[in-house]
Amino acid sequence: MPAEAFWLEVGPFHIVPVCHHTMEFAHEVEKAFRAVRPRRVAIELAPFLLESMLRAVRRFPRLTTLAYEATVEVASSEVDGPELREELNKLGLYPEGLPARLKLRRHHLLSVEPTDAFAEAVRLAQAHDLPVHAIDLAMHYPHQHQDWVPDAASLTAIGARAFYELWSAKMGAVETPEDRDREANMALSLLNLARMNPDEKILVVVGLVHTNRLLAYLEAGDAPLKPPPAFEPGPVELYEPDIETVRMSHSEAPWVMALYEFRRGGPGGEEFWQPPPPPEPEPEDPRDRLKDVDPSQVVASLETMLGLRRRRMPPMDKKQRKALSRYLQGLGEDPGAFMQLLNQFGGARMPEKIEFPKVKAPSGRVQAFKFKEVRDRRADLRGLYAAVLEEAGPELDRQTMLEALMRATGHYYHENTGDRVANWQFQTLYQYVRNYARLHGRLLPTIYELTMGARGVADDNWAYEVWDLGSFYPWSPEEDGPSDLPKMHMDDNKLWLNGRQVISWQFNRKFPSLRKMRRRASESEAGDWAEEFEGGNICSYPVEDVVIEDYARYLQKKAIQQMSSEKSRTEPFTTSLLDGIDMRETLRNWHDRKLFVREIRRVTGGVGAVILIFDEDKNDDRYPWRMTWHGEHSQESDMAFYATPTNMKLVGPGISRCEYGGLLMTYPNRQLANVWADPSYFDLRSKSEILLMGALEYGQDRHVVYVGSTPPRSHFRSVAARLGKRIVYLPIGSLSPQSIQKIRIFHVLSDHQKRKIAKDYIW
């Protein structure tokens, strides 16, 4: 990879042509600075913004947005936006009576990012105590425009010099009247600077589109002097964008921006890498726990326990005992609270002093499974960034960074959902985003394209992980976090500066928009949701039942079609077309001028059982839970399965997210016994063989569909033949991976009442 620095020399000037807000050009400025060792730095920036820029760069790694109001003259045709039209309408200026040109006070925004070449030049100058000069012309752009340049990712492969030469040959002649005025002003500023400071090297950082004409002015030693345009900027204010604004508005991908800043400026303070503290639960009133307790039984039980009543009362049921136990633990060691309990239920004679044993709340409870977001992984991000930078190398290869992003989000996707991203899905994703990027004239995709690609090859969960990590900047303040500047918040098309909404605003440059994905609300701390399963009653989620039953019927039809295809025969046409013309065989023998027809022989018997083996689990450690349950109605099958336990991922009160290792479905229902407790199955080698033997014994029809990565042992074909049945093997690789992932995850509910709230917790 080319590592030499690139700049253009004209006398004392060392000009570095750059593109705005691009990591590769910021890196080029750093290399050129260290090679040239200048005494002064000049950047393409209006002078009235210089002091604010210096202050913003000193705040790195924190981001800053410069905001100022300016009086601009615009054509009436450029007036846009419903809020602005409404304000003009109140003044009686819109839509009738609007003059040809208007003078408006408009907000201008300039984001100061670590990956911007001009910010990098200012940072280097500040680090070496060098003066910084702003040489641009303060003016208003009536139209936003985009400069068409090649993808900056090519700098890593061909170098900045080849990039500049290719661009100059293709696009170097494009200009506007505003560009000519600015370039003349920059040239005059540089020439005056050189006259005042002879024999000093000056590093000049300017936009790529201005370089050729600026070089011509500097070589000629003069430029046309034009009066500056009427432009009245107001005071410049500094704001710090919150994390949501960074996700939406910044031009460089926050993932790339964070990696560059981590390498360039370090990780920053420890406070940036601490996960957010869990929300403090509201204090609970112990009296709320007595809603389901019979007062008479409470008083009688306490009197019996304290020796005040000798006759035993009927025992409390399990639910009441649990409520009373939790209530007593909440009271602690206060005897007065215990007396209030008895008084609440009618009173009783008690001694004045009572010694209560210390009761500790049970420890080690199973906590609710939380869908982790990137803000919950702050403690791990520092190690992730360091590993990615080591892999990217000294030239900061963007392609390596994006590949690392997809691998990391694939791992997070597996943590949150249990699904894995297969190698073929990565290959399909890379092919898709490569073609998508080429349609927009780029070599590498953006975060938006990667997000849409992840959604296409997997699902919304992986797309959310890509968006969440790819658009996260770790040094951005949270919504209520501390900051030394007023906050800036942007929501859709509205801009908020320190809590004040700005109606008319525009960016100085056209930034690519990043579509915000739908955010999934994180689960609150819900205590020990596993208590809901202690009653021993469980049920399924009906929405998932419909999906898996439909898929089982699909497998039944697929197996019948496969057997019919195996029994079909093709012969030359004589007297009957049979079941239709076999086009493949006819075309294959077209030189013989013969027509071939096909006979499809029907398969007798239906499918009585379907087996899906996702994981053999030969070590019996990943899917320890074994269960057999019957269908609730005639449209459902009986099922036996092995899966992850219910206390592993609790997503709601009495709602557990589980994953099948393998399952058996038999028809009709109410016929399947508990195959896991049958002593005659104990000698079988694996759980998949237990399910297969159960299918052969309890399936009512002749055929048994077996889906897995490998076919069953030949022994079972002999067993099936003795029972008058046949095993139809379907490789799991021949089925849709998306459909397999969809049915592999299921949810177990602690009772039927949870079906009403399950949709609020299941993703």
CA–CA distance, 541 with 748 (Å, rounded to integer): 7
Kindly state whether residues 337 and 379 are assigned to the same domain. Answer: no
Q: How confident is the model at residue 652 (pLDDT cuts 50, 70, 90)?
A: confident
Q: Are 223 and 217 in contact (CB under 8 A)?
A: yes
Residue 542 lies in a domain: yes
Kindly state whether residues 405 and 340 are assigned to the same domain. Answer: no
Q: What is the pLDDT of residue 479?
A: 55
Q: What is the pLDDT of residue 257?
A: 94
Kindly state whether residues 669 and 721 are assigned to the same domain. Answer: yes
Kindly state whether residues 723 and 632 are assigned to the same domain. Answer: yes
Q: How confident is the model at residue 520 (pLDDT cuts 50, 70, 90)?
A: very low
What average pLDDT does the segment 621-646 reach?
90
Is residue 733 packed enough to be buried (19+ CB in 10 Å), middle (13-18) or exposed (0-12)?
exposed
Q: What is the pLDDT of residues 244-262, one digit of tens each?
A: 888 887 788 999 999 999 9
Look at the chain and count its residues: 763
CA–CA distance, 426 with 19 (Å, rounded to integer): 31
Residue 88 lies in a domain: no
Kindly state whether residues 200 and 317 are assigned to the same domain. Answer: no
Query: Which of 203, 230, 265 is at the close of a domain?
Result: 265
Kindly state whether residues 257 and 304 are assigned to the same domain. Answer: no
pTM score, whole prediction: 0.71
Kindly state whether residues 624 and 714 are assigned to the same domain. Answer: yes
Kindly state whether residues 378 and 247 are assigned to the same domain. Answer: no
**Total structural domains in the chain?**
4
The boundaries of the domain holding residue 427 are 370-474
What average pLDDT does the segment 704-724 reach?
93
Q: Are 488 and 242 in contact (CB under 8 A)?
A: yes
Q: Compute the mean pLDDT over every residue in the chain, rounded to the nearest whole number.
A: 80
Kindly state whether residues 197 and 300 are assigned to the same domain. Answer: no
Q: How confident is the model at residue 348 (pLDDT cuts 50, 70, 90)?
A: very low
Residue 129 lies in a domain: yes
pLDDT reading at 129 higher than 60? yes
How far is residue 664 from each of residues 188, 690, 736, measured CA to CA in Å? 82, 10, 19
Residue 362 lies in a domain: no
Q: What is the pLDDT of residues 398-435, one digit of tens each?
A: 999 999 999 999 999 988 887 888 888 899 999 999 99
Q: What is the pLDDT of residues 396-405, one digit of tens each?
A: 899 999 999 9
How far is residue 54 from each of residues 33, 121, 130, 631, measured CA to CA in Å? 18, 11, 12, 70
More confident residue, 751 or 33: 33
Of 138, 137, 140, nearest in space to 224 by CA: 137
324-328, 513-517, 733-737: least confidently modelled range: 513-517
Q: Are 596 and 572 in contact (CB under 8 A)?
A: yes
More confident residue, 148 or 725: 725
Q: What is the pLDDT of residue 570?
A: 84
What are the backbone dihedrals phi and psi of residue 216, each rounded to the nearest 5 degrees, phi first?
A: -65, -40
What average pLDDT does the segment 52-81 reach?
80
Question: In the numeric block, which tokens belong to residue 711?
Answer: 């076919």
Kindly state whether residues 449 and 305 are assigned to the same domain. Answer: no
More confident residue, 317 or 48: 48
What average pLDDT does the segment 507-515 reach?
33
Of 272, 470, 477, nearest in space to 388 by CA: 470
Residue 527 lies in a domain: no
33-37, 139-143, 276-280, 438-442: least confidently modelled range: 139-143
Q: What is the pLDDT of residues 530-543, one digit of tens each?
A: 777 776 788 999 99
What average pLDDT does the segment 206-225 reach?
89
Q: How confident is the model at residue 101 (pLDDT cuts 50, 70, 90)?
A: low
Kindly state whether residues 260 and 303 are assigned to the same domain. Answer: no
Kindly state whether residues 321 and 236 are assigned to the same domain. Answer: no
What average pLDDT does the segment 461-490 reach?
83
Residue 489 lies in a domain: no
Q: What is the pLDDT of residues 581-629, one digit of tens each?
A: 888 888 888 888 889 888 777 777 889 999 999 999 888 888 999 999 9
Percent of the chain at pLDDT > 90 equals 36
Residue 479 lies in a domain: no
Q: What is the pLDDT of residue 566?
A: 75
Residue 572 lies in a domain: no
